[in-house]
Amino acid sequence: MEKLLGEFSLGLFIIQTVLFVLLVFLLNKFAWKPILNAVNSREEGIKNALEAADKAKMEMENLQADNKKLLKEARAERDAMLKEARDMKNKMIEEAKEEAKQEAGKLIAQAQASIQTERQTAIAELKGQVANLSIEIAEKVVRDELSNKDKQVKLVETMLGEATLN
Amino acid sequence: MQTKLSLKPITLVLLLITFVSFGQHHDTKSADNTHDDATIDKAEERKQYINHHLKDTHDFTLFSYTKANGEKGHIGFPLPVILWDNGLKIFSSSKFHHEEAVAEHNGNFYKIEHSMVYKTDAAGTITYDDHHHPTNVKPLDLSITKSVFMIIVTGILMLLLFRGLGKSYGKNNGIASGLGRFFEPIILYIRDDVAIPNIGEKHYKKYMSFLLTVFFFVWFLNIFGLTPLGVNVTGNIAITFSLALLTFLITTFTAKKDYWQHIFWMPGVPYLMRIVLAPIELLGIFIKPFSLLIRLYANMQAGHIVLMSLIALMYLFNSIIGSSLSFLLSFAISLIEVLVALLQAYIFTMLAALYFGMASEEHHHEEAH
């Protein structure tokens, strides 16, 4: 302790205290304040930037989720539309088929009917013609036959013979 | 950038001094060792040399040697001596001839004894009391001693360095450039891991300039102490006393109500205990800064003694094996001392922050006790 006090220099102590206090004030003004302010503002900036980045990321995610939702909806809508169209197509084909069938049936019936009448008229006409032809032939035959006496007799006899045979 | 450039020559000079001084030491010692009868004197001389090195001096000696005729030679430069002895007395320390001669100034005579300036008569007689203490008048010595010189150098260095760092933020978009880049993380460390945990987010700001200044001041001076310049500033009791006193004053004057309440009327303990605790706590407020001053002083002083003793051991052995072993040892200790230099600066700052934290703490007694 005595050695410590012996080494103690009051002058050095005074100078050191004055110089050190001066140094604290000078450094505070010219160094520590600017440094700490700069560092603080930088840290603040980094913090804000990170927050902004986070926010942007969140927004991005939201947007992506929205997009996905929209896409899903659109897909569902498309599927629904496709299904509807397919159904409609099938229905239309079905209807068309039905209609065609009916039309065809009607046409067939009409055709048959007209064929029937055509045939009827054809048969009737044929009958008339056949009758006329028969009469003509008969006339010709009769005329020819009647011009010959023997033949007439023969014919009568044949006819009589046939009649008896019957 | 400017600081970077201006620092380079300093480093170069330091390096040169290292080589020159070590080389010089070696030459003189090996030349002297031819005299065997001088061994005891040599040991005594080394002890004197170490003791002298630990003390503050009035001139800046880079290194000293012994001439062939036994005379001492010193290489260095004198510093101004400023005394308050019935008026300001200023003269060059070269008048003392390295503490060996009596300096005369305006009819007054002064002599240096154990690095203290005493007023003497023309012959330089110093009278001693029974305890071998000089009884001569001791004028107030405000000289620019080696320590003061180094304090000024360190102060200027710190101002240049940290002002440069502070300015570089503006120039470089808030990012440090140059040499300051190395120191910025350290400043942030002091803020985030020393000041804020000990003092608290709310009050730490007003203590930052003292904490940062004290940290770098002690660290730089510790490091300067390890250079062969041989400056033992932080190992000087007057310096550490000043730093501890400032810590004590700041603690005391920024103390809040709770701090004093915890000293004089400790809450949460029986009344009788409060009376017993008060003087102990009161003593504590002085012991805390006192421990600061003794810790730094003793650590640096001891480090210098050990290191110099190991270097002296090299010459004592004076053999290849012994000397190289002690060289290795002193090299290892030097490395440890570099660590100690930082550690002591850190501990001083840490404890100062802790005391400031105690002073500015605001308790909530209902919850805490």
pLDDT at residue A115 is higher than 80 = yes
- The total of structural domains in chain B comes to 2
Residue B130 and residue B174 in one domain: no
Q: List strands edge to edge, sheet with B80-84.
A: B88-92, B80-84, B140-141
The answer as to whether B247 is a domain residue is yes
End-to-end CA distance of chain B: 54
Residue B133 and residue B164 in one domain: no
Q: List the domain range (segments joined by +) for residue B55.
A: 32-143
Nearest partner of B348 among B251, B189, B252, B240, judged by Cα = B240
Query: What is the least distance, in Å, from the CA of A56 to any CA of chain B?
Result: 24
Q: Which position has the token pair 């496709």?
A: A82
Q: Which position has the token pair 């003593």?
A: B283
Nearest to B166 among A4, A13, A30 (CB): A30
The answer as to whether B300 is a domain residue is yes
Residue B329 and residue B250 in one domain: yes
Residue B115 and residue B138 in one domain: yes
Nearest to A23 among B155, B208, B236 (CB): B155
Could you report the predicted ipTM of this complex, rounded to two decimals?
Answer: 0.79
Nearest to B174 among A19, A25, A42 (CB): A42
Q: Which residue has the higher pLDDT, A29 or B8?
A: A29
The answer as to whether B14 is a domain residue is no
Residue B137 and residue B90 in one domain: yes
- Per-position DSSP letters for A73-109, written without gaps between them: HHHHHHHHHHHHHHHHHHHHHHHHHHHHHHHHHHHHH
Binary contact (A11, B159; C-beta < 8 A): no
pLDDT at B280: 87
Residue B156 and residue B259 in one domain: yes
Nearest to A9 among B116, B162, B213 (CB): B116
Residue B302 and residue B319 in one domain: yes
The answer as to whether B25 is a domain residue is no
- Confidence band, pLDDT 50/70/90 cuts, at residue A145: low
pLDDT at A1: 63
Binary contact (B212, A32; C-beta < 8 A): yes
Boundary residue ending a domain (B143, B158, B173): B143
A35-93 pLDDT, tens digit per residue, is: 888 888 888 999 999 999 999 999 999 999 999 999 999 999 999 999 999 999 999 99
pLDDT at B364: 58
CA B265/CA B284 separation, integer angstroms? 14
pLDDT at A90: 95
Chain B residue numbers with beta carbons less than 8 Å from the beta carbon of A23 are: 155, 158-159, 213, 217
The answer as to whether B80 is a domain residue is yes
Nearest partner of B154 among B225, B240, B247, B245, judged by Cα = B225
Residue B249 and residue B354 in one domain: yes
Residue B138 and residue B172 in one domain: no
Tokens representing A12 are 């050095």
Chain B residue numbers with beta carbons less than 8 Å from the beta carbon of A2 are: 131
Nearest partner of A42 among B197, B108, B61, B176, judged by Cα = B176
Query: What is the least distance, in Å, from the CA of B238 to any CA of chain A?
Result: 5
Chain B residue numbers with beta carbons less than 8 Å from the beta carbon of A9 are: 56, 115-116, 141, 145, 236, 238
What radius of gyration do chain A's Cα atoms show?
A: 66
Boundary residue ending a domain (B143, B163, B189): B143
According to DSSP, the β-strands at B80-84 and B72-78 are: unpaired
- Cα distances from A83 to residues A77, A91, A97, A121, A145, in angstroms, run 10, 12, 21, 56, 89
Nearest to B165 among A8, A16, A31 (CB): A31
Chain A residue numbers with beta carbons less than 8 Å from the beta carbon of B155 are: 19, 22-23, 26
pTM: 0.72
Boundary residue ending a domain (B124, B143, B162): B143
Question: Which residues share a beta bridge with B134?
Answer: B128
Nearest to A10 among B140, B152, B170 (CB): B140
Residue-level pLDDT, tens digit, chain B, 369 residues: 444 444 454 444 444 444 444 444 444 444 444 445 556 777 787 888 787 778 888 888 777 777 777 777 778 888 888 888 777 888 888 888 777 778 877 777 888 877 788 888 777 777 887 777 777 878 888 888 888 999 999 999 999 999 888 888 888 777 777 787 889 899 999 999 999 999 988 888 889 999 999 999 999 999 998 887 778 888 888 999 999 999 999 998 988 888 888 877 777 778 888 888 888 888 988 999 999 989 999 999 899 889 888 888 888 888 888 888 888 998 999 999 999 999 999 999 999 999 999 888 876 554 444
B170, with CB counted inside 10 A (0-12, 13-18, 19+), is exposed
pLDDT at B3: 43
Q: Are B90 and A46 in contact (CB under 8 A)?
A: no
Binary contact (B147, A16; C-beta < 8 A): yes
Which chain A residue has its CA at the smallest distance from B246's CA?
A: A17
Residue B160 and residue B135 in one domain: no
pLDDT at B217: 94
A interface residues, B as partner, C-beta within 8 Å = 2, 4, 6-17, 19-28, 30-36, 38-39, 41-42, 45
Nearest partner of B66 among B90, B88, B49, judged by Cα = B49
Chain A residue numbers with beta carbons less than 8 Å from the beta carbon of B169 are: 34-35, 38-39, 42
Helix (H) / strand (E) element for B230: namely none
Q: Which residues contact B337 (CB under 8 A, 6 or more apart)?
A: B226, B303, B307
Percentages helix, strand, coil for chain A, rounded to the nearest 5? Answer: 95, 0, 5
Nearest to A27 among B209, B242, B243 (CB): B209
The answer as to whether B228 is a domain residue is yes
Query: What is the least distance, in Å, from the CA of B309 to any CA of chain A?
Result: 20
The answer as to whether B27 is a domain residue is no
Residue B315 and residue B220 in one domain: yes
The answer as to whether B124 is a domain residue is yes
Which chain A residue has its CA at the smallest distance from B297's CA?
A: A4
- Cα distances from B336 to residues B2, B297, B307, B329, in angstroms, run 32, 17, 10, 11
Residue B225 and residue B304 in one domain: yes
Query: What is the least distance, in Å, from the CA of A52 to any CA of chain B?
Result: 19
pLDDT at A140: 83
Amino acid letter for position B100: E
